[in-house]
A and B are shown apart, each in its own frame.
Chain A
């Protein structure tokens, strides 16, 4: 029996079409996956079901065979729909308990919050579904996996029958993902219906019963997961044959060290150790991957390497030259480039044009300026050249970075950093949130850079990205290097993912 049916649903934002004529039927008690690329309209569609965006007129939504109209999330919640967003929606200074009850707080004496009865109810829910969270912890102290459980508890507390999960495993460790699958199976067993958004194919094979594919906002088809291969799912998602792995030539093993990190210690913003006695060597012509879960010191490591943060002790050298604790500009001039994790806040000045962003670090140099006065013609020439070489669209150098797509924003950064001819390029989450085409492009550029004899330091939370690109893989956990896998170890290891997961969770090699 269908719990939810969408018929001919369309949604546009101005002239932008988020999705178009979508048909979707979710059966009661199934795990239904919604598969599509980044930007295919999955999240917007789910937000419609959750009452965050009303669809355009025309289509209809049926819940339990009854036509419904959702004006707000409060209504969706009341109808038994719950959603866990990709970026968790938890109030960080609040406790777990407070987060769960926010919005439907039980009261006593009319105005006080009845924490006790809330606690009892949550504890019985946790017992029923067999997973547990300390209700008095503050959100900011919890791991990502635990935060996700809080989100799930939040919707169970609201008696949701239909649970929508947006990219639930994107930031989890392999071990956490396993635990998550168990929770999903429990939920299904107890009769809950689950709608899961993902672009990970093996995830669908693992937990989903049926799967609906969306491409560029269009409904493609719904199929039974058992009967479809990963390759088939992939080509239907992208609309053409795709390579599931990046192609690259084997490297000829060189042992020339380009960047040397020795006994590095860095504190985080709370003055606690974030990077502890970290040692790593990046080699010429190698892509060195750094695997690890978000929040294990990667940000602090990058900040220390690029000069945004002073290290407490230890040294960093480029080609034997010490760059420890130099200013960001000096380090940049020593040929260390970076694609930052947060391109919109760190990588670009969003209110500056493409051409201005391309010379952010080099504006003081000839030919871009003389005696402190900017030479606009030179800026334009330079920008036109890079826009063509890196295929940045639109091609007008005056367009503000804010008005570019995510992929093109990333290309601007890539162009700027590669043009500077770095010895080492740090690529920190370089493809986050990009669509398949842009990901392929960025990956191929990184490989090109490596083939030209540079060292690439790829830091990513996506294990798949690390696996498909790296020549060597380092693993970081709680600020420590827990493993370093050589080329041979990578190619010889049959259970590479599990092995890395073990190290990522703190196992020591």
Chain B
């Protein structure tokens, strides 16, 4: 509960200071907030876009949070995302089964590949004592260049582009993809403007899978002996080892699951939105965003779900500042930075929290 309040207060301060920054650069913050709110909620397709945008954020946030629970700082989300995305593209392109088989196979194998990739960092830590922050940074770059290498393989590369071929239709999880453009579909949508707008973006099943994952991770952490041991390892390695928990194995397993979640984010992105992968010049920031989501959600699965939507909304609506007000959309990064900054120092909220709890007590009496 305290964490939730700290996050809320931090978000409030982040929005406030973000407004101040805009004000200082000559932009009316109220205008900016109006643009952002309208840009986020005024049309069904905006909401659809926000959900699409939030899906990978929720999953990468979950990934980072899960590793945190075991005492590991997974900065490697970025690389694991890339591995998942690449694997999904590759399999989605080469396999062409019935969708009911194709989709799970592509998804599960992508998770598997990225779990190995994430697990590698866990193994290096457990076996050689290489700090996971260092190894995952290196693995991020390795993933990026490996992905670029595969993109350029003839046969997989789409001729004359810097992208791969598209995945087969059978691997797509975009909802109603064909129906939307079929005659009957178009006719129906003409009469239902809400759905017409909502389905304009590539709305896909990813969010439902992400929701299932939120539940699953919550269940693992709170209800299973496996989660019990993972958390014990995160709290105190010494005590856990003494209590007979194989902490090295637990760290590797935690990184594998964390990697699988990030890889799933990548796979769902490919299967639902992009349908292929392109050459990357630099990292796209999924890793950092995942860290932000996890921190704002105080590493709790439900918190991560909420903060994933929050960040997705912020990022989506923030884009619109540029065109509407010529205000730099990077004010969003500044806001996120401020929010995380305050989350780092919960002690500064002690006095407002104390007052709050006193009010609660008095109102009970």
Contact = CB atoms under 8 A, between A and B. Distances in A.
A350 B232 contact: no
A467 interface: no
Given A327-B244, A328-B243, A363 B228 contact: yes
A348 B239 contact: yes
B364 interface: no
B235 interface: yes
A285 interface: no
A374 B225 contact: yes
Given A346-B238, A350-B236, A361 B243 contact: yes
B244 A356 contact: no
B229 A363 contact: yes
Given A350-B236, A351-B235, A356 B241 contact: no
Contacts of B223: 373-374
B240 A347 contact: no
Contacts of B195: none
B242 interface: yes
B244 A349 contact: no
Interface string A345-388: 11111111000100011011000110011100000000000000
B235 A329 contact: no
Given A349-B240, A350-B235, 9 more contacts: A308-B241, A345-B236, A346-B242, A349-B232, A349-B239, A361-B243, A373-B223, A373-B224, A374-B224
18 contacts: A328-B241, A328-B243, A330-B244, A332-B244, A345-B236, A345-B239, A346-B239, A348-B236, A349-B243, A350-B236, A352-B231, A352-B232, A369-B224, A369-B225, A372-B226, A374-B223, A374-B224, A374-B225
Residue among B231, B241, B246 with most chain A CB within 10 A: B241
Contacts of A356: 228
A329 B235 CA distance: 19
Contacts of B231: 352
Contacts of A332: 244
Interface string A318-334: 00000000011110100
Contact of B228 (A342, A345, A346, A374): A374
Nearest to B224: A372
A265 interface: no
A397 interface: no
Contacts of A373: 223-225
A306 interface: yes
Interface string B224-263: 1110110110011011111111100000000000000000
A306 B244 CA distance: 9
Given A363-B228, A372-B224, A352 B235 contact: yes
- Please name the 7 residue pairs, one residue from A and one from B, whose CB atoms are nearest each other, closest first: A329-B244, A360-B243, A328-B244, A351-B235, A349-B235, A369-B225, A361-B243
A351 B231 CA distance: 10
A374 to B, nearest CB: 6
A29 interface: no
Contacts of A369: 224-225
A347 B239 contact: yes
A340 interface: yes
A368 B224 CA distance: 11
Contact of B225 (A306, A342, A372): A372
Chain B contact residues: over half helix, strand or loop, or mixed?
helix
Interface residues of B, number: 19
How large, as a class, is the contact surface on chain A? 20 to 34
Interface in B182-225: 223-225
Contacts of A345: 236, 238-239
A328 B242 contact: yes
B200 to A, nearest CB: 43
A364 B244 CA distance: 11
A348 B244 CA distance: 13
A360 B225 contact: no
B157 to A, nearest CB: 45
Nearest to B239: A349
Contacts of A329: 244-245
A346 B235 CA distance: 11
Contacts of B226: 372
Given A364-B225, A374-B223, A374-B225, A340 B232 contact: no
Contacts of A347: 239, 242
Nearest to B220: A372
A363 B225 contact: yes
B251 to A, nearest CB: 16
Nearest to A340: B242
B308 to A, nearest CB: 25
Nearest to A347: B239
Contacts of A360: 232, 239-240, 243
A337 B52 CA distance: 53
Contact of B244 (A342, A361, A368): A361
Contacts of B244: 327-330, 332, 361
A327 to B, nearest CB: 7
Interface in A207-252: none
A363 B229 CA distance: 9
Nearest to B222: A374
A330 B243 CA distance: 11
Contacts of B236: 345, 348-351
Contacts of B245: 329
Nearest to A342: B238
A332 B226 CA distance: 19
A370 B105 CA distance: 30
A125 to B, nearest CB: 40
Contacts of B224: 369, 372-374
A258 B122 CA distance: 40
Nearest to A331: B244
A489 B242 CA distance: 36
Contact of A306 (B232, B235, B242, B246): B242
B69 to A, nearest CB: 11
Nearest to B240: A349
Contacts of B239: 345-349, 360
B62 to A, nearest CB: 20
Contacts of B228: 356, 363, 374
Nearest to A365: B225
Contacts of B243: 328, 349, 360-361
B186 to A, nearest CB: 49
A89 to B, nearest CB: 24
A483 B84 CA distance: 63
Contact of B242 (A308, A330, A351): A308
A345 B225 CA distance: 21
A338 B245 CA distance: 15
B103 to A, nearest CB: 28
A238 to B, nearest CB: 32
A363 B227 CA distance: 11
